[in-house]
Amino acid sequence: MHTGSIPYWKFALQKMPWGLSCLAFLFSVALFGQDLPRVESAADTTAIKIGEQIRFRVTVEADSNATVIFPEGQTFSPLETVEAFKTDTTRREGRMTLQKIYALTQFDSGTYRLPTQRIEINGRGYFTDSLLIRVATVPVDTLSQKMYDIKPLMEVERSNAGLWKVLLWVALGLLLVGGALYWFVFRKKPMTREEKEALLPPYDRALLELKRLENSKYLIQDAYKEYYTELTMIVRSYLEEDVHVSALESTTGQLIEKLQLLKDAGQLKLEDQTILQFRKILETADLVKFAKSKPATTVAEQDRKQVEELVMKTHEALPEPTEEELEEQLEYQQAQQKRKEKRKYVLAAAAVLALLVLGSSMAVAYYGFGYVRDSVLGNPSKSLLEGEWVYSSYGYPPINLETPEVLLRENVSQSTIAAEGVKEIQAFEYSNPDQWFLVGATALTLGQAEDPDYDASIDKVLSDFEKKGARNIITKQEAFTTLAGVSGVKVFGSGTFFAPGSSTPSKGQYAIFLFGGKGFEQRVVVSWLDDDPYAAEMAARIMKSIDVKTQV
C-alpha cells in the first residue's frame, strides 16, 4: 500500500484501534517530555535591608550525561554576588538534579530587578525567571541618639608597619658583611710555621734552616744542586739581613771582597781562615750548580757544618747595635705594623666596595638602572606607586576608585554650576605637583530627568586641558565596561602638556570615563606624562579599579 510521505508512526496510528492510539500517543509524549531538561529558580526572600543577603537557588534536571554550565561572576547586576556555593548533584535512574545557590546583596536602597540568568545545557541556553527585589534602608533613631556633623579630613602619619622588615634585612646584611670582614681581615689568625719563622731574628732563623737542611733527603736522592742552592741561599740571606751586605745579588768574588773590606774596616771581626773556608764552599756550590759537579757526601755534610760555624762566628763578630740603630729598628717595626694595619683597612674597604658594586650590578641587571636610581635617590611617583593606596567612594551616585592618595573635594562655584546647566556638582581631585599626574572624580546631578550629554562633558574636560597649556590633543573613543558589568564611554588619547613650573612641553596621555543615567552623570579623569613609567602604572591601576553605581 502506498503511504506517500506520511511517517511510519502516523501510518501505524491510523491502523490502530482508537483506544490503543491514545495510549501510544500519551506514552510517546511522556517519553519525549522525560528527555527534556527542566530549569527552575527561586529566592528565599524578595525583601531585604541594606547589606542583607538573598539566597537565589537554581535547580536543573537533565540526563545524567548532560553538560550543564551555570553563570559565574558578577552576572546578577545591579545586585552584587557575595558567594557562589558549590553545586549539589543528585543522580537517579539515568537522570540528575543539579542545584546551585548564590548569595546576593545590595548596599543601596530601592527596588531592583534580578535579571534572568542563562543556564547552558548541552550547548543550548535555558533561562531563569527574573525577580523584583526590594532593598529597604535601616531606620535611624534620631530621637534617642544625637546626630553630629561629618568631621573634616585629618592628616595622619603614614603607617610604618612594614619598616621593621626592611630594617631586619638591612641589619642582617650588615651583620653578614661585618662577620666576613672580621673573619677574613681583622681576626688574628693562628700563624703558620713559615710566619712564625719569619718573625725570628736572622741568626736563629738561619740556624733553624740549616738544621732542617741537615735532616733533608737531598743527599740521599743525589740532589746536590738543590742542596747547595739552599745552603748558599741560607747563608747569603743571613749576611744580607744581619751583616747588611748585599749578598743575594753578588757573585762569589764580590761577596768575599765585601766581607774582607768589612774585616779590614774593623766592622766584622772574622779570621782570614774563616773567610777562606767560606770562599771554598761558595766555589764548590758554583761548580755543583753550573758545572754539574758531584762532590762526596761527606764533603757536602762538612760544608754545611762549616757554614753553620760561619754563621755563629759572624754573629759573635758583629758589634753591639747602638741606640740609633735600635731606634731605627723600632721605627722600622712600627712602620711595618702600620703598613700591615693599613693593608687590613684597605682590604676591608675594597671588600665593602666590591659588595656594593656587585649588589648594585645585580639590582640594575634585574630591576633596571632607572628603578635602582629612583630607589636610591628617591622619586615622588615611585613613592606614590609603592605606598599605601586608598579605596574610597566619591559623590552621589557614588564613584568608587583606588588611588595613591585620597581625592580632596573641590569647591565648585555657582557660576560653574550655572555654566554647565546642572543642579549640583560634586568634584574630587588629586594632583602630583612634581609631575603632570592627575586623577579626578566628578558626580553631576542634572536639572532634568534626562540622559547626560557626554559630548559636552568631553569638550569641557579637553577645554580645561587647553587652558592649562595642553596642545596637539589626539582623541579616541570606545565603549568601556567596569568589572561589575556597568557600561560607559572611554575617551582617551595623547597630547603635549606642561608640568607645573616647567617651560618645556612633555608628551603625555589622558583618559576620560563617562557613566550616567536619567538625571545624573559620573566622570573620571586620569592624566600622566609618557616619561614617567610609575605614573603610567598608577593610571592603569586606577582605571582598573573604577566602579560606579548607576541607580539613583
Domain limit, last residue, from 114, 136, 158: 136
Mean pLDDT comparison of 19-33, 43-57, 259-273, 499-513, highest-scoring range: 43-57
- Can you tell me the distance from the alpha carbon of 421 to that of 415, in angstroms, rounded to the nearest whole number? 10
Q: Examine residue 143 and state whether it is found in any structural domain, yes or no.
A: no
Q: Answer yes or no: is 16 within a domain.
A: no
Compute the distance between CA of residue 452 and CA of residue 211 in angstroms, rounded to an integer: 108
Mean pLDDT of 128-139: 85
pLDDT per position as a tens digit, 483-502 = 888 889 999 999 888 766 66
Contact 218, 291 (CB under 8 A): no
Going by pLDDT thresholds of 50, 70 and 90, the confidence category of residue 12 is very low
Q: Which amino acid, residue 428?
A: F
Provide the CATH number for the domain around residue 115.
Answer: 2.60.40.10
Mean pLDDT throughout 403-429? 81
- The verdict on 489 and 408 lying in the same domain is yes
Tell me if 44 is assigned to some domain: yes
Does residue 236 belong to any structural domain of this protein?
yes
With contact defined as beta carbons under 8 Å apart, do 212 and 231 qualify? Answer: no
Question: Which candidate, 310, 337, 116, 297, places its Cα nearest to that of 206?
Answer: 310
Distance CA 515, CA 298 (A): 113
Please state, in angstroms and rounded to a whole number, the distance separating the CA atoms of residues 169 and 32.
72
* 26 part of a folded domain: no
Please indicate, yes or no, whether residues 268 and 281 belong to a single structural domain of this protein.
Answer: yes
| Count of domains forming the chain | 4
For strands 131-136 and 110-114, give the pairing.
antiparallel
Length of the chain: 552
Give the CA distances from residue 223 to residues 58, 206, 228, 291, in Å, rounded to whole numbers and listed in that order: 102, 21, 9, 14
Same domain flag for 433 and 507: yes
Q: Are residues 324 and 408 both part of a single domain?
A: no
Do 408 and 521 share a structural domain?
Answer: yes
Percent with pLDDT over 70 in the chain? 79
**Tens of pLDDT, residues 361-382:** 776 666 566 656 666 665 677 7
Would you list the DSSP string of 223-289? Answer: -HHHHHHHHHHHHHHHIIIII----TT--HHHHHHHHHHHHHTTSS---HHHHHHHHHHHHHHHHHH
Whether 265 is covered by a domain: the verdict is: yes
CATH code, domain with 237: 1.20.120.330
- Identity of the residue numbered 71: P
Least confident of 45-49, 161-165, 267-271, 449-453: 161-165
> CB atoms < 10 A from the CB of 518, how many?
12
Higher per-residue confidence, 60 vs 411 = 60
Do 336 and 403 sit in the same domain of this protein? no
Dist CA 162 CA 539 (whole Å): 25
**Is pLDDT at 91 greater than 70 in this prediction?**
yes
Q: Which of 6-20, 48-62, 272-286 is predicted least confidently?
A: 6-20
Do 227 and 358 fall within a single domain? no
| DSSP-assigned beta bridge partners for residue 392 | 401
Mean per-residue pLDDT, 530-534? 83
> Nearest Cα to 347, choosing from 187, 172, 193?
187
Q: State which of 363, 378, 393 marks the end of a domain.
A: 378
Q: At what angle do helices 369-377 and 323-367 cross, to 10 degrees?
A: 120
* pLDDT surpassing 60 at residue 53: yes
Whether 341 and 384 map to the same domain: the answer is no
Please name the helix (run of DSSP H) or strand (run of DSSP E) that holds residue 365, with its range, or none: helix 323-367
Cβ atoms of 513 and 486 closer than 8 Å? no
pLDDT at 301: 92
Which secondary structure element, helix H or strand E, spans residue 104, and what is its range?
Answer: strand 95-105
Tell me which range, 165-179, 211-225, 311-325, is most confidently predicted by mean pLDDT.
Answer: 211-225
The tens digit of pLDDT for each residue in 423-455 reads 888 889 988 766 678 899 998 888 788 888 888
pLDDT over 50 (residue 29): no
Q: State what percent of residues in the chain have pLDDT above 90.
A: 24
The boundaries of the domain holding residue 451 are 380-548
Do 427 and 518 lie in one domain? The reply is: yes
pLDDT for res 14: 52
Average pLDDT taken over every residue of the chain: 81
Residue 57: pLDDT band with limits 50, 70, 90: very high
* Residue among 397, 434, 449, 422 at smallest CA distance from 107: 397
Would residue 238 count as lying in a domain? yes
Residue identified by cell 496510528 is 13
Helices (H), 441-529: 454-467
Average pLDDT over every residue of 241-257: 88
Cβ-contact 82, 129 below 8 angstroms: no
| Same domain, residue pair 415 and 507 | yes
Higher pLDDT, 519 or 360: 519
Whether the model pTM is above 0.75: no
Find out whether 113 and 148 touch, Cβ atoms under 8 Å: no
Q: Are 231 and 213 in contact (CB under 8 A)?
A: yes
Rounded mean pLDDT of 30-41?
Answer: 70
270, 289, 319 - which closes a domain: 319
| 3-state SS, residue 495 | strand
| 222 and 300 share one domain | yes
* 440 lies in the same domain as 506: yes
- Ranges 221-230, 307-316, 334-343: which has the least confidence: 334-343
What does the block give as the cell for 441? 572624580
CA dist 314 and 244 (Å) reads: 12
CB 385 within 8 A of CB 375: no
**Residue 164, in any domain of the structure:** no
